[in-house]
Amino acid sequence: MKTPSKFNWMTLLVIPAISMVFLPFGEEWYGYVLFLILAAAFWRGMKLASYRGLLIILQHGCVCLLMVFFSPWNCWYGIYPAIMAGHLSSFFRITAVNVLLMIVYTLTASFYGAADIGEENWAWITVLIFLLGVPYFLRSQQLYYEMKGELQGANEEIIRLVKLEERGRISRDLHDTLGHTLSLLTLKGELIERLIPVKPDKAVDEARELQEIIRNTLVQTRKLVSDMQTVCLSDEVIQASTMLESAGLDVQVEERADDIPPVIGKILGLCLRECVTNVLKHSQADRCRIILHNSTGSYILEVEDNGRGLEEMNVQKGSGLFGMKERLAMIEGRLDIESVSEGGVKVTINIPMVDVPVKEVTG
């Protein structure tokens, strides 16, 4: 995600600086001196945060003198201290500066005589209202981009953790699947070597068994590699439906979720795969319903069957649920398992929505 480049606030001094060529203050040299002090304080205040409060007061003082000596409409120069106030560290400080601005500018205009009771020349107050709103707007924008950056960093951390978790899962699968099998193949090879001189017929039988183990290992390896591929949620839903129907289950699928970020779709796909595996292995169900939809601020996946239920399946002690909970914990997701009144189990996965888009997660 790209964040907007920082705006060069010094460019706002270009137009008033050019206007000085046309002598807006006539022959009164002190008007130009006040503008130069205002411009210098603005330039310095945007560079040095430590002196920003004092420089804001100095700028407002210059604006007030321009209002007194020339016209209340010179309050528009207050845009510069207002912009600087928008870079203060808290809304409380901004409010304090705005209260000071409103009191001082009103008193200054009254001194000039434009805001006396009964006068109709109150139009300059619209400029004052605008100046009061500028700091709040700028501070809100600053907080928005800060939160956006933090959220982007959080999503990048989630992606990193997902990769680490997947690498750990792959490592466990390789150890559990291939490690045991390769050890068995080594023992079988040594046994065949010892049997060939004394029992060649038995050695042949062992060799055939060794070939069968190798074929099974090849199948397991291909499945493991297939599982390592990037998970696409829509493909997982189709595959889950196909697997359940092939096993003779009546399947109902409802997809009502839009714009699911890739990292969340990957985790939902892995969880759906595990849920379907549990249904096929443990539930003894003949009907399964898969629902994927958006709720208020969440993506929700529901997998419900009409099988044996929680007590019979004893799903809390295994069935890959620990791995599902680990994945969901990384994105503040929640896993709920409950018995269905007419029998069976309902698994509900709830993942909060994230507004900032995240990149595709690969190996």
Domain ranges of the chain: 10-150, 229-363
pLDDT tens, 128-167? 788 888 888 888 888 888 888 888 888 778 777 777 777 7
Cα angle 16, 21, 24 (rounded to 5 degrees) comes to 70
Mean pLDDT score, 249-262: 85
pLDDT given for residue 155 in this prediction: 76
φ/ψ region of 267 (left if φ > 0, alpha if ψ in -120 to 50, else beta) reads alpha
Tens of pLDDT, residue by residue over 20-47, are: 766 677 777 888 888 888 888 888 877 7
Quote the pTM value: 0.44
Per cent of the chain over pLDDT 90 is: 6
Is residue 203 very low, low, confident or very high in pLDDT (cuts 50, 70, 90)? confident
Residue 286 three-state SS = coil
Read off the pLDDT of residues 276-304 as tens digits, 9 standing for 90 and up.
Answer: 888 888 888 889 999 998 888 889 999 99
> What mean pLDDT do residues 173-181 have?
67
- What is the mean predicted confidence (pLDDT) over 66-71? 78
**Minimal CA–CA distance to 333: which of 281, 260, 278?**
260
Q: Return the pLDDT at 115.
A: 44
pLDDT at 302: 93
pLDDT tens digit sequence for 81-93: 888 888 887 788 8
pLDDT at residue 167, as a whole number = 74
> What average pLDDT does the structure give for the chain?
77
Q: pLDDT-derived band of residue 315, with 50, 70 and 90 as boundaries?
A: low
Q: Write out the two tokens for 346.
A: 């309902």
Quick one: pLDDT at residue 358?
42
Q: If 0-12 CB within 10 Å is exposed, 13-18 middle and 19+ buried, where does residue 293 land?
A: middle
The structure tokens listed for 34 are 């006040």
216 has pLDDT over 90: no
- CATH pick for 229-363 out of 3.40.50.300, 3.30.310.50, 3.40.190.10, 3.30.565.10: 3.30.565.10
Q: pLDDT value at position 225? A: 63
Please state the rounded mean pLDDT for residues 62-70.
81
Inform me whether the pLDDT recorded for 119 exceeds 50: no
Position 312 scores a pLDDT of: 55
**pLDDT for the residue 288:** 92
pLDDT tens track for 10-21 = 676 777 777 776
Task: Measure the CA–CA gap between 94 and 269, rounded to whole angstroms.
Answer: 48
List of E strands, the chain:
250-256, 287-295, 298-305, 334-339, 345-352
